[in-house]
Amino acid sequence: MEIPYTLTARPDTGLYNGKLGIWLFLASEVMLFGAIFTAYLFVRLGAEDGTWPDHIQNVWLGLSNTIILIISSITMVWAWVALKERKFNTYRLALGITILCGLVFLGIKGVEYHSKFNHYGFLIKADAMDKYLPDLKKMDAFIGSIPSQHVFEVRSEDLKSQEGDSFTFVPDKNPHYLINLARDKSAVAPEAAAGGEEATFTIKKDDVERWHNLTPAYGTYYAIYFLVTGLHAMHIVGGVVVMFYFLTIGSRLYKRNPEQLSNRIEVTGIFWHFVDLVWITVFPILYLT
Amino acid sequence: MDDLPPSSEAAASAQGQSTHAASSHGHSAHDDHGHEHHELGFWRSYVFSTDHKVIGIQYLWGGLAFLFFGFGLMLLMRWQLAFPGQALTWINASNHIGYQWHQIWYHLGFYGTPPIDPVPVPADPLHPPLMQYIFGKDQMPGGVMTPDFYNTLGAMHGTIMVFFGIVPVAFAAFGNYVMPLQIGTVDMAFPRLNMGSVILFFLSAVLMFGSLFVPGGAAKSGWTSYTPLATISDQPQDTIFWGHDFHFMWPFWLTGQSVWIIAMAFNITSSLLSSVNFITTIVQLRVKGLGWMRMPFFVWTQFVTAFLLLLAFPPLEAAAFMQLMDRLAGSSLFSPAGLVIGGTPLPLSGGGTPLLWQHLFWFLGHPEVYVLVLPGLGIISEVVANNARKPLWGYNQMVYGLLVLGFLSMIVWAHHMYLTGMGTAVSSFFQLTTIIISVPTILILSSLIISLWGGSIRFTSPMLWATAFLPLFGIGGLTGIPLAFNAPDTFLHDSYYIIAHFHYVIAPGTIFALFAGVHYWYPKATGRIMSEFWNKVHFWPTMILMNCVFFPMFLQGMAGMHRRMYDGGATYDELNRNVLHWNVFISEAAWLMGLAQIPFIINFCFSWKYGRKVSDNPWEATTLEWSAPSPPPHGNFPTPVIAYRGPYEYSVPGHPTDFTPQSEPPASTQTTRISGPPPAEERSIGFPPLT
């Protein structure tokens, strides 16, 4: 028994089965990510003043990831072309670079996640804000405001202590990127550098309405952020696993049937380009706004 | 990619000789598929099989089992609705049976005195009733259903019937078994992916069934899992049973609703992979001569259904991930700020909206309705054409209507949400599309009815179900029209009218179609035919009782009875007094209908082994699956078939028999035709000329 058109294209459609299958699968993926982007719009348009943070992601990390993924897309095509030209070693090199790019992407993503897990947000009751305001102003700290919930928001990357009835931390400065790559003590806080350590800020726990690290529970922005990027990262992992298979065990097929291997790489590539494309949508809506 | 590889030219020339790849590219891709020459073991043949026929039968058994299980859940609920708060014990049940017998005999004039209302007997606390043993002390203490357990039964009934009963049977089972045969191919395009779908479906089924036994019980927020109810329900439970802590056996945070979400994610993934497989198969693997407009209508319905699944299911998957995040990571994508539950403000960030869940859910939910209905329509079309011995009337318009239906079904979802305050402009839009979608539906149904006109109808087993399907599905469809309009829906929303309406579409509609399909293709799958006598014993009570169950619900609903009453509306006795007594009647009809399924189960199981043996084409049908041996071997057709004509060439004048199989070569160039799809063209594939 032989299933038709696994290897060659059906004339009236111009596609072999796998290629049509992956395009259909991508149609469903468009709907999957489309639903999440729609949810993003829905939640963002309905967000109350001050609850939707802007410009908090590190654009340079996001941009590097964008560039890395675009490079990996190019090398993916390179791998496919190499197979078509029956240049096996080039294929292995190109696919290896693609996998490497995927792994670097995940590494950078991990750095970003790590920073959010260790970054805290404090919602301070508006009534109690008066006594803290001068200190915060003096430190040039970032202060957000959510009028509808009667709270002010302060964030910190450096929680010194939460013992007793108060928190002690170094508040984020303006501008308030969550990851400040240029965070050099002398550059950021000259007076603190002179004194040897940064100015800390202490607040009573009773005056804090709610505090949390910057994970989905802290706000819908973070929920959407982790949802989109997490799902996207899972797609990257899936792609890397498949490519790793075709780099190792799967590449044995080359000896038996190079055309079939090149078809499989083409299909993998179509998927990989889609994952790239999703990132290119994620980047502006989460990093550039 | 402009520069096509040189191999595609070779393929193009190979296509000229034969569409069957066996001749065109040797044994190159053999590692992909099972080899037909060596024997496969038990596990590879029946459990981890890649053969579309075995997979179809796996889905059929699984789906039918779940249909009966889901029906059983409803039978339990009906006890609570008919006799609220009474213990479900042998003594109470037999008292009610005795009461009804007495009632019947009294009305017939044999007894002089009317019966006395039976007095409910509470269960003896020292000897807990059977129900308490089965469902546990938290769910049915002393045989009395708790409200939470009632909600669990409702949620699980809906979920199981829709996602684990009808879709696996109507789409996966019949689609897998029949569709590749009808397009004359050897198997699905991706056999191993197909096996993956079955495994995922099996996992999801185990999870969903198993969720009944997790601490705290299964999901209880309705099959729609509306937030914020679904977000806060099933809080982590303690895992102490019989004085021991069993937390090591089950993560405490994984409660009923979370398991529901995870099971649904598996189920959705399974459906997605299936639909990719179905569409690819239909587009790529049609045999030579089988142009688009020569496909049997059943294949068309599977094609459109697969597209609906492909495009509508992912948003629910996304929504499921979001709800899982809300439940487990504490986010508030579906919860507004300031939510207070039982006097306690929830410690959530807020910022989400329950409307988002409803939109995402119904974006799946409404196409899902057509996923349930369309395969049924396809089965009925095959059965009607075959048994009326006529071509389908208006095949072309049915096909185009189906495509329009498929498209429109994606843009009507918010008619489930008129009462959410979306705004009148949005409501008007969805009201308009909802009314428009009734046009292609009625078009298809009318074509089926007109197809009967002037036919010499054979009332075979499948045809009995098909003839019952047409009017009952019609009732379901027509009663939906008042619901499509904003104004009447405001009154009818969430009443028993809704329940009656969609059950008329799905229970006597799709499920009757499924029975028709089981009877129709049973000879193909087993080589044996199901008993016609036992089918009648099954059919007549089911048909009558089905109406006894659902028709009174229209009355109850129009009288304003709400659909989610734990006690069947007894609390609002003042409002519901005139219709409340129907609860007992409906419940009794439902229980009798449960009994009426026994002949089917016996018939289905016994015929597998002991049914009458029949020829390869017992119904004298025309479509390609009947050209294969029964049951078809691995690879389906001993010699490749070619489709020479349209799918429904019945009663062609001048032909010696009243049916002309699609695979029968033309006797001469001159063929007389009566109607139906356009005649055979020289070119093998493509749309017919528009004449």
Residue A98 C-alpha, separation from nearest chain B C-alpha, in angstroms: 20
Contact at 8 Å (CB) between B267 and B171? no
Q: What are phi and psi of A211, to 5 degrees?
A: -140, 150
Residue A32 lies in a domain: no
Domain that holds residue A125: 121-213
Least confident of A156-165, B237-246, B247-256, B354-363: B237-246
Q: Which DSSP state fits A147?
A: G
Chain B residues touching residue A32 (CB < 8 angstroms): 314-315, 317-318
**Of A213, A248, A274, which residue constitutes the final position of a domain?**
A213
Q: How far apart are CA B80 and CA B626, in angstroms?
A: 48
What are the helix (H) ranges across B2-121?
Answer: 7-17, 21-24, 42, 52-82, 90-107
CB B187 within 8 A of CB B52: yes
Instruction: Kindly list the residues from chain B whose CB atom is less than 8 angstroms away from the CB atom of residue A278.
Output: none
Torsion of the alpha carbons at A274, A278, A281 and A286, rounded to the nearest 10 = -160
> Residues A83, A208: one domain?
no
Of A210, A218, A220, which is closest to B352 when you measure between CB atoms?
Answer: A220
Same domain, A96 and A231: yes
Quick one: pLDDT at residue A172?
Answer: 83
Which has the higher per-residue pLDDT, B591 or B117?
A: B591
| Preceding amide of B180 cis, omega within 30 | no
Sequence-distant (≥ 6) Cβ neighbours of residue B619 within 8 angstroms:
B386, B387, B460, B462, B520, B523, B626
The predicted pLDDT at position A197 comes to 60
Subunit contact B360:A224, Cβ cutoff 8 A: no
B310/chain A closest Cα distance in angstroms:
6
pLDDT band at B525 (very low <50, low <70, confident <90, very high): very high
B344 bridge partner residues: B341
Instruction: Check whether B691 has a pLDDT greater than 50.
Output: no
Looking at beta carbons, which residues of chain A come within 8 Å of B352?
43, 220, 223
| Same-domain check for residues A208 and A225 | no
Same domain flag for A96 and A137: no
| CA–CA separation, B281 and B179 (whole Å) | 9
Q: What is the CA radius of gyration of chain B?
A: 27
- Which helix (H) or strand (E) element contains residue B125? none
Q: Considering only CB atoms, which chain B residues are within 8 Å of A12?
A: 685-686
Q: Do A256 and B31 touch (CB under 8 A)?
A: yes
For tokens 């539906």, what's the residue?
B441
- Written as six digits, the tokens of A231 are 């799902």
Domain ranges (residues) in chain B: 65-75+145-237+253-337+347-613, 86-135
Nearest CB to B360 within list A16, A33, A35: A35
A162 with A149, same domain? yes
Q: Confirm whether A37 is domain-assigned.
A: no
Distance CA B129, CA B88 (A): 8
pLDDT category, A34, cuts 50, 70, 90?
A: very high
Kindly state the tokens that stand for B3. Answer: 């520069």
**pLDDT tens digits along B610-662:** 999 999 999 999 999 999 999 999 889 999 999 999 999 999 988 889 999 99
Give residue-wise pLDDT tens across range A218-257. 999 999 999 999 999 999 999 999 999 999 999 999 999 9
User: Of A192-196, B233-237, B324-328, B429-433, where does mean pLDDT reach its minimum?
Assistant: A192-196
What pLDDT sits at residue B347? 83
CA angle (B661, B663, B668) in 5-degree steps: 85
What are the E-state strand segments in A147-279? 151-161, 166-171, 201-204, 208-213
Is residue B9 scored above 90 in pLDDT?
A: no
Q: What angle do CA B538, B543, B548 make, to 5 degrees?
A: 125
- Looking at the predicted structure, is the pLDDT value of residue A73 above 60? yes
Q: Are residues A141 and A94 in the same domain?
A: no
Inter-chain residue contact A27 with B686, CB threshold 8 Å: no
**Residues on chain A touching B686 (C-beta within 8 angstroms):** 12
**Cβ within 8 Å, pair A1-B634:** yes
Q: Pick the residue from chain B with its C-alpha nearest to A83.
A: B5
In order, the DSSP letters of A217-239 are: GG-HHHHHHHHHHHHHHHHHHHH
DSSP B610-626: HSEE--S-TT---SGGG
| A146 and A169 inside one domain | yes
Pairing state between β B240-241 and B244-245: antiparallel
Residue B46: predicted pLDDT:
86
ipTM (interface predicted TM): 0.91
Q: Which of A244, A239, A247, A241 is nearest to A267 (CA)?
A: A239
Contact B676, B648 (CB under 8 A): yes
> Which of A23, A26, A31 would best serve as a mutation to test chain B binding (most B beta carbons within 10 A)?
A31
Smallest CA–CA distance from B361 into chain A, residue: A35
The nearest CA of chain A is from the CA of B494 a distance in Å of 26
Q: From the centroid of its chain, how far is CA B107?
A: 40
CA distance B86 to B145: 8
Do A110 and A154 have their domain in common? no
Separation CA B627–CA B650 (nearest Å): 15
**Are B28 and A10 an interchain contact pair (Cβ–Cβ within 8 Å)?**
no
Contact A171, A153 (CB under 8 A): no
- Asked if the structure places residue A257 within a domain, the reply is yes
Asked whether residue A243 is assigned to any structural domain, the reply reads: yes
CA separation for the pair B72, A85 (Å, rounded): 62
Helix axes B512-526, B354-388, angle to 10 degrees: 60
Same domain, A226 and A252: yes
Residues of B in contact with A16 (CB under 8 A): 284
Residues on chain A touching B634 (C-beta within 8 angstroms): 1
Number of domains in chain A: 2
- Report the predicted TM-score, pTM, of the whole model to 2 decimal places: 0.90
Judgement on whether residues A90 and A129 belong to the same structural domain of the protein:
no
Distances, alpha carbon A270 to alpha carbons A25, B1, B27, in Å: 11, 12, 27
pLDDT given at position A178: 59
Do the Cβ atoms of B291 and B684 come closer than 8 Å? yes
Where do the DSSP E strands lie in B196-288? 240-241, 244-245
**Which residues of chain A have a CB within 8 Å of the CB of B355?**
42
Q: Is B280 close to A20, i.e. CB distance below 8 A?
A: yes
Select from A7, A212, A226 the Cβ nearest to the Cβ of B29: A7
With 50 as the cut, is the pLDDT of residue B106 above it?
Answer: yes
Residues of A within 8 A of B325 (CB-CB) are 216, 223, 226-227
Q: Beta strand A166-171 with A208-213: parallel, antiparallel or unpaired?
A: unpaired
Pick B8's closest partner by Cβ from A9, A28, A39: A9
pLDDT in tens, B468-498: 999 999 999 999 999 999 999 999 999 999 9
Q: Which of B190, B314, B635 lies nearest to residue A17, judging by beta carbons?
A: B190
B25/A84 CB distance under 8 A: no
Is domain B65-75+145-237+253-337+347-613 in CATH 1.20.210.10, yes or no?
yes
Is the CB of residue B212 less than 8 Å from the CB of residue B655? no
* Mean pLDDT to the nearest integer, A43-54: 88
The domain boundary, picked from A213, A243, A258, lies at: A213
Q: Does some domain include residue A185?
A: yes
Provide mean pLDDT across the span B218-225.
92
Q: Is A216's CB within 8 Å of B322's CB?
A: no
Residues recorded for chain A = 289
C-alpha span between B26 and B48 (Å, rounded): 26
CB contact under 8 A, B635 and A5: no
The half-sphere exposure of A171 on its side-chain side, counting CA atoms within 13 A, is 24
Region B145-160: mean pLDDT is: 95
CA torsion angle B439 B445 B447 B452 (round to 10): -160
CATH number, residue A89: 1.20.120.80
Distance of CA B5 to the CA centre of its chain: 44
- Who among B8, B355, B635 is closest to A1 (CB)? B635
Amino acid at B497: Y
CA nearest to B298, candidates B448, B158, B114? B448
Please state the φ and ψ torsions of residue B629, each to the nearest 5 degrees. -65, 160
Peptide bond into A284 cis (omega under 30): no
A94 and A76 in contact (C-beta within 8 Å)?
A: yes
pLDDT digits (tens, 9 = 90+) for B60-81: 999 999 999 999 999 999 999 9
C-alpha torsion B219→B223→B225→B230, nearest 10: -20
Q: How many CB pairs under 8 A join A and B?
A: 204
Write out the two tokens for B358. 């409803």
Categorize the per-residue pLDDT at B247 as very low, low, confident or very high, splitting at 50, 70 and 90: low
In 3D, which of B400, B375, B390 has the Cα closest to residue B451? B390
Distance (Å, whole) CA B216 – CA B239: 9
**A31 closest CB neighbour out of B10, B12, B314:** B314
Rounded distance, CA B256 to CA B152, Å? 9
Q: Are residues A209 and A227 in the same domain?
A: no
Residue A12: how many CB atoms within 10 A of its CB?
A: 15
More confident: B507 or B6? B507
Give A-chain residues touching B311 at CB under 8 angstroms: 27-28, 31
Average pLDDT of chain B is: 88
Specify which residues B659 forms β-bridges with: B650
Own/partner long-range contacts of B139-148 (Cβ < 8 Å, ≥24 apart): B139/B217, B140/B88, B142/B87, B143/B87, B143/B88, B143/B89, B143/B92, B144/B85, B144/B86, B144/B87, B144/B88, B145/B76, B145/B77, B145/B79, B145/B80, B145/B88, B147/B566, B148/B217, B148/B220
First vs last Cα of chain B: how many Å apart? Answer: 37
Mean pLDDT of B532-537: 96
Same-domain status, A202 and A127: yes
- pLDDT > 70 in chain B, percent: 89
- List the single range of A131-135, A239-243, B198-202, B379-383 with lowest mean pLDDT: A131-135
Helix (H) or strand (E) holding A166: strand A166-171
Contact check, Cβ <8 Å, B280/A257: no
Q: Do the domain assignments include residue A169?
A: yes
Kindly report the average pLDDT of chain A as a whole number: 89
Per-residue model confidence (pLDDT) at position B681: 47
Q: Residue A116: list chain B partners with CB under 8 A.
A: none
Domain boundary among A159, A180, A213: A213
**Closest chain B residue by Cα to residue A230:** B321
What pLDDT, on the 0 to 100 scale, is given for residue B94? 94
Q: What is the pLDDT of residue B4?
A: 40
Contact of B318 with A223, CB cutoff 8 Å: no
Crossing angle for the helix pair B424-452 and B461-478, to the nearest 10 degrees: 150
Contact A218/A146 with Cβ under 8 angstroms? no
**Quick one: pLDDT at residue B37?**
53
For the purposes of burial, counting CB atoms within 10 Å of the CB of A131, is it exposed (0-12), middle (13-18) or buried (19 or more)? exposed
Pairwise CB contact (< 8 Å): A149 & B329: no
On the question of pLDDT at A92 being above 90, the answer is: yes
> Which residue in A28, A46, A257 is closest to B311 by CB distance?
A28
Q: Which residue has the higher pLDDT, B255 or A261?
A: A261
Asked whether the beta carbons of residue A220 and residue B10 sit closer than 8 angstroms, the reply is no
Percent of residues, chain A, with pLDDT higher than 70: 92
